[in-house]
Structure formats: C-alpha cells, structure tokens
Structure 1
Amino acid sequence: MSKDWRAKIELRQGDLTEADVDAIVNAANNDLMLGGGVAGAIRIKGGPTIQQECDRIGPIALGEAAITSAGRLRARHVIHAASTRLGESTSEANLRAATRNSLMRANENALKTIAFPAIGTGIAGFPIEQCAQVMLEEARKHLNATTTLERVEFVLFDRHSLEVFERALAEMND
C-alpha cells in the first residue's frame, strides 16, 4: 500500500480558484476574514456568500479548518485552513494541523477531490521549501489511512513553487 498514496497526489501550476474539485483550500486566518492573496481571490471570484458563511462560523482555533460552500467557484466547497492569526506569521505546527484538519473535513464530508495552495507562503511568510515538506507529509499520512479522498492536488501559483513541491515529493520516502 505504501506507494499508492503517490498516485493520488497531483502537483501543477495554475489558479486555485479555477480547480475542478470537490473543495479548494483557503489559506485562512483564524478569524476567517477573506483578505488578500488566495483568500482575496476566493472572495472576489466566489462572491459574498463565502464570507457570510465564514462570519457565522468564525473565529476558529489556530490549526483548525472549517468548511463552507464555494459560492460561484467551480468547486463545491471551500475548506478554510487557519494556519495564522490576521497579520501574523504561520508556524510549522499550525501549518501541519491546518493541513491535517483540512483533509479531515474533506473526509468527514465524503469528498473525493481537494486542491491546496502553498499555505502560509504568501503574506504569512512561511518558507516554501518547508511548506512543501510539511503539506506533502500530511497528505501522505492521510492517504495511507482510510479516506474518501481519491485525489489531492497542490495548485501552485508560480513555476518556482511547483518545482519546490516536485523536488520535495521526489525526495519523500514511502
């Protein structure tokens, strides 16, 4: 079973908000305020219903994840992974927990496909190399357990980020 998880991982460069998946993951703050970066793109393209749902749910604990509808986005849901407080940096522990909890929300909702950005690497300042390692480790652990997920995508904004994730994946042990 050990190598099966790799077949369920897809790495690509692109626009997360255009992903054709059951859920996209928002790099969120724990107040669930959709500000700039990935969250801003989700707010603009998805419309006001996503923020309205977030307002009813939030705030949530650091490292937690909450699920909402996806408004006008192609995805059916947005999973908000709270790796930081508004205006603060992301820590490895919060990134790891937020990734794990996002995968758990997907499983709890019987989702088959999910797409992640490189959480915390924008305004929250988390190093992309460490992000790739942490997020891929959590995906591997989740996919090696019982799950409804059949595909976990990492949709990276630029070529450099994609190359970092590709290298991290290639270096991982099964």
Structure 2
Amino acid sequence: MPVHIVEGDLLDQPVEAIVNAWNRNIIPWWLLLPQGVSGAIKRRAGLGPFRELARVGPMPLGTAVVTSAGRLPYKAIIHVAGINMLWRASQHSIQDSVRNALARAREQGLRSLAFPLIGSGSGSFNEERALELMRHVLDAEAGDLEVRVVRFRRG
C-alpha cells in the first residue's frame, strides 16, 4: 500500500494504532514535562499507557514497545525510542524506530498505523530529512500496512 503524508493531528487519524516518538524510557515518565506527541497522548489517553511502558524498563535506541491506547480509540500505541539521552535523533535512531514499529504492528495483526515525524520535535532533527529517512524505510518495508505519516499542524 502507498504511504500517505498528511497534515494534522496524529491523534485524529483513522488508523488502528499510532506511534509515539518516545525517549529511551530511562527517565521516569512522570518526571517529564508533557510536550509534543507524548504530551498530547498523556492528555487524551490518560496515564495508563505510560504506566505500562514504565514496566518495560530502559529501551535500546530505535526499539519499539506496544501498550494499550488508554482512552484513545486505537487498538494500541507503539512507543519508539527515537531520541538518545541528549535528546537528539539520528539517521539510525529514526530508521530503526520505523522498522521496529512496523514489526510490532505486524506482530499485533494491525492493518493501519500513523507515525509522527520521528526525531523532528524534541530530537531536533530537520523535519524534511526525517521525512526522507522515514520514507526510505516505509517505501521498502510497509508492505500491506496502510501507513500515514502525520506532519503536525493545528486544525
């Protein structure tokens, strides 16, 4: 299936699951200021998904973990460790995050998934370059998954 690039709010996408661009899960979630994608998820989903995520422990850079979606209308949230301890993303962390999110989606039997631009918020990565890196993996590996990459724009 083709990869769709859309503008809007990640949390309003007509998909089965969303991807949360997360840190490496080393700093407790309750110490972090709610900002960006994670902050929006916390406000609308509640704290349940983050409590589940905390039980996983530290995540290697580029990995992905699945939790429930809390109060959001999705089957799951896939949290990816897209930024390092210095709050920076890299080509490898972005592409590994996408690759591992796709793998977790397949394991869960999901058919559709929405990604934010991984690394372009808190990770300070150039938005266009992040999209290019994500597209490279998605075009090659999304297969029959319906994928949306959402450029955040206030409605």
TM-score (ref. length: structure 2): 0.89
CA root-mean-square deviation: 1.7
Relative to total residues, which structure has the larger helix share, 1 or 2?
1
Bigger RCO (CA 8 Å, 6+ sep): 2
* Total equivalences in the alignment: 149
Listed one character per residue, the Cα deviations across residues 83-108 of structure 1 (whole Å, up to 9, x for unaligned) are: 11354210111111011100110011
Partner SS, residue 117 of structure 2: coil
Q: Which residue of 1 aligns with 2:20?
A: 26
- Which runs of at least 4 in structure 1 moved beyond 2 Å after TM superposition? 32-35
Whichever of the two has the greater Rg, that structure is 1
Partner SS, residue 63 of structure 1: coil
Q: Which residue of 1 aligns with 2:151?
A: 156
Q: Which amino acid aligns with 1:58?
A: G
1:128-139 equivalence runs, <5 A: 128-139=127-138
Q: Which amino acid aligns with 1:18?
A: D
How many Å apart are 1:25 and its aligned residue?
0.3
Contact 2:102 2:142 in 1 (8 A): no
Q: Which residue of 2 aligns with 1:12?
A: 6
Which blocks of at least 5 consecutive residues in structure 1 are unaligned? Answer: 160-174
TM-score (ref. length: structure 1): 0.80
Q: Which amino acid aligns with 2:7?
A: Q
Matches of 2:66 and 2:85 in 1, distance apart?
Answer: 19
Greater mean deviation of Cα atoms: 30-39 or 50-59: 30-39
Q: Which amino acid aligns with 2:24?
A: N
How many Å apart are 1:58 and its aligned residue?
2.5
Matches of 1:60 and 1:10 in 2, distance apart?
Answer: 28
